[in-house]
Chain A
Amino acid sequence: MSVASLSDLSAAPPTEKLPPVRGYWASVGNRLRYDYLTIFFLSVIAIIVVLAILAPLIAPFDPTKSHMAYRLKPPGFRNFMLGTDELGRDMLSRLLWGGRTSLLMGIFPVLLATLVGGSLGVAAGFMGGRTNTFIMRTMDVVFAFPSVLLAVAISGTLGGGAKNGMLALTLVFIPSICRVAESATTQVRGLDFVEAARASGGSTLSIVRTHILGNVLGPVFIFASSLISVSILLGSGLSFLGLGVEPPTPDWGLMLSTLRAGIYTQPLLCALPGAAIFITSLSFNLVSDGLRQAMDVKA
């Protein structure tokens, strides 16, 4: 082997039309494009979100105004497209407005928990040793309680209200997100490219910011997205038990709870908020699954 033959070794292959180099998000988008199930449920979510946002504009009635003469009327009665509840309030308006509360209950606690749990997990994973033990064992203590029981206990202690309900859900989600972030960080920390970054002069902070976060954000994001449906369910559960949203405010869980009394006279009415909860949380769940598949680069 001589130095002269080097040009042959590194010579460019005959130029032919190569497929374009796609960026990360472009390739994720491309994979999603052929995943019709995810696209369908993604559009369901989009419709629900748009309806919830536009609720003040499109709701035919005031959701808190009761018509005492028309209580528990079936769908299609007069102007009440989906009927009325036990206080004669328009079901459609209440479902639209209730979507706002339920989506908020679904998304906000998960966001907050991702922020807090994610940073705790990355810190624990990166620093290791005693810091890790301290943070993770504290999380394990919280983990020991069943999540529903914990949420009920916390919001019961704090008192009802949407704010306390969301806080309770946040506290319930922090340990699991923390654990995902910690295990992802521990995995990444030992890989050569972290040492390579140090060997090319990176400071600890810049390594955590670019290399650790860059690799941990994906799994954490996917896990958090799967928690949204859980959060919607738990939030509705809290409201159902009277620990979440305060009564006049429309909320799916709360509606389910109050309409329960009329289940023998108008069973369909009671099913409406239930169906809304079911469809929304199912959609979030399936979209999260689709995203997981689309974002998994290493597969």
Chain B
Amino acid sequence: MKPQSAFPLLLAIALAPMVQGIINRTKAIVAGRAGQPLMQPYLDLAKLLRKGAVYSETASWVFRTAPAVGLSAIICAGALIPFAAFPSLTHFGGDLVLLGYLLALGRFAIVLGALDTGSSFEGMGASREIAFAALAEAPLFLALAAIVRETGSLSLTPALGAVSINVWNHAAPSMCLTIGALLIVFLTENARIPVDDPTTHLELTMIHEVMVLDHSGPDFAIVQYSAALKMWFLGAIIVAIAVPWHVGNALADAACALAGIAALGIVTGLIEASMARLRLLRVPTLLLTAAMLSALAFVMVAK
């Protein structure tokens, strides 16, 4: 394990909440407002960490451990994802399957915590979250399969590192399809419009937010921070495919990828500003479309 392989994880831990800030600022500018400062998510986290936590009488230890389990699962998942030229903390053949299931484990912990509160709203949110997450797994794995098939490597670090201008030159259509599919997965997994509205305050329409209603103080900070990390890691995968230029200098490449993540935040903000939420019943169709996109990408690569 080389010392620079800790870099992707440290970078994510430091900068992950910033993406949220970029999205919010983009939405504000499109709406003609000045918007909150870019560092606002950090300030929110600091505020939450200073507060005390309140626990319901019906909640057991499952509810209390859920945020910690969620955060550790996401950090473990992050240990598998490279950033630009920097390799991930650890990599081995088939680690992309582990990535999928670590993401699922984090979600599982939060869902169990939501069910543990005994609130009917949280149960409803949990059931929706799981339904959409299960559907989002197919496009995620199919898209990764397309990348694996194209680069011939079963591990994330070599596979994403091998996506170069050359790959784009002879497989541009399937790379575009992969990015499209992963973008829909990104929006779904991170509970953004058009799947879920992070700013809604109506329990009946909430998906992700309703599950974490009962968390407060430091617990809620951990939940929010895990969500930010998840967004960063999924974004890093998309950027690794969408920004295929390798200058040779590791730091220049990293700057390129950082610009890519900022661009992804802006794109997400623009999508949120220009679209309404889909009706819940139409979300499966969207995810099905994503699965079609990635299946088509896989077929085009495999032929």
**Co-complex (A, B):** no
